[in-house]
């Protein structure tokens, strides 16, 4: 399966110290877990990816990861934490001129209204 292949890839990336590759692989694994309905596994893997992305200063990946995490947390009822991540994602998107900035801005606006 794809998840098994990604687990092998993650092990190799860890062995060779490929932090950027680890971020991408963990994010992909998280997305597959979410598609399978495993929210907890998604959160664990995405948070690992987020931690590594922060450590290495990978702002593009951080923008993507925070958008995913923020959206899932908001949909799950944790609007406070989710909105915080979405706002961070939006700030990064503005700095790096990320192509999906409008989608992120719309999510921030939506959850701000929901929070109010």
Task: Collect all residues with Cβ–Cβ distance below 8 Å to 59 and sequence separation of at least 6.
Answer: 53, 92, 95, 96
Write the burial class of residue 61 (CB in 10 Å: 0-12 exposed, 13-18 middle, 19+ buried): buried
Residue 7 has pLDDT above 80, yes or no: yes
Instruction: State the pTM of this model.
Output: 0.92
Tens-digit pLDDT profile for residues 44-65: 999 999 999 999 999 999 999 9
DSSP 66-95: HHHHHHHHHHTT-HHHHHHHHHHHHHHHHH
């Amino acid at each position: 399966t794809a998840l098994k292949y990604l687990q092998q890839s993650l092990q190799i990336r860890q062995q060779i110290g490929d932090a950027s590759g680890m971020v991408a692989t963990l994010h992909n694994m998280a997305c597959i877990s979410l598609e399978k309905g495993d929210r907890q596994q998604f959160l664990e893997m995405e948070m690992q990816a987020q931690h590594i992305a922060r450590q290495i200063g990978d702002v593009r990946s951080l923008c993507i990861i925070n958008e995913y995490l923020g959206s899932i947390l908001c949909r799950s009822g944790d609007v406070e934490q989710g909105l915080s991540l979405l706002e961070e994602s939006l700030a990064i998107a503005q700095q790096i001129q990320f192509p999906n900035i409008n989608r992120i801005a719309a999510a921030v606006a939506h959850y701000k209204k929901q929070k109010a």
